[in-house]
Structure 1
Amino acid sequence: MAFNGKYELESQENFEQLMKALGLSDEVIKKYKDLGNIVEFVQNGNSFQTSYNYGSKVITNEFTIGQESEFVLFTGHRVKAFAKLEGENKLVITMEGMMAAMELSGDKMIETLTNGEITVKKIRKKI
């Protein structure tokens, strides 16, 4: 199942708790809580490009399954990350202290971000 397409945020849980655990200020958390609502995935075989729209800022990351890549986070920080596919519909990215998983289910993308015991769950609908 290809990840190609744009996905709009429908709901999210525990975003603020994870951001606080990562040491972000309340001001930064408030600024980004409701941004990043639309993400676009372009998949070409094992190569991916993701673009997150954060209001006036768009962050694009490119990576290949099975290879270490550098990712830019919404905060502007750069981290090393490793991506793998689990089956045809689940993309897992591990980076410094965090794991992100995006799983396709029909026209939905269920995104989970995990840092220690805190997990953020975002549900996005394909548009």
Structure 2
Amino acid sequence: MTTAAASTAVSTLSKPWALWLGRVFSALTVAGLGFSAVMKVSQSPDVLKGFEHFGYPASVIVTIGVVELLVALLYAVPQTAVLGAILVTGYLGGATATHVRVADPFIAPIILGVLAWAGLFLRDARLRALLPLRRTP
């Protein structure tokens, strides 16, 4: 792709609606991870029961919650959002594997991961330049 075509692809998504949609997707991602992290750190009985179902010992729940919160914070800060998105992907990959292992529905972590990357793609021009969407003439 030529430089002119890349800049056209980047400017196409530089519309205010795309930026706001990206912010909404990113906020949903941070809210979902944040809520989940708070539930883990609070060690509510429902969370303890869920972790027992997944086969994890209760001693790791707080650690997983803190890691989840840190990943969400890295994603929320614009300067570290790409690193945060990579870590969100890794975290949600582990969540997906956990659900698959116990034969639970695993669509929620996948949707959250897609929302994370879609939000970052829509709000960060540098990422759009790196991964341009191509249109056929």
- In which range does the TM-score fall when normalised by the shorter chain? 0.3 to 0.5
Structure number, greater radius of gyration: 2
Higher percent of residues as strand: 1
**TM-score normalized by the length of structure 2:** 0.31
**TM-score normalized by the length of structure 1:** 0.32
Greater relative contact order (CA < 8 Å, ≥ 6 in sequence) = 2
Higher percent of residues as helix: 2
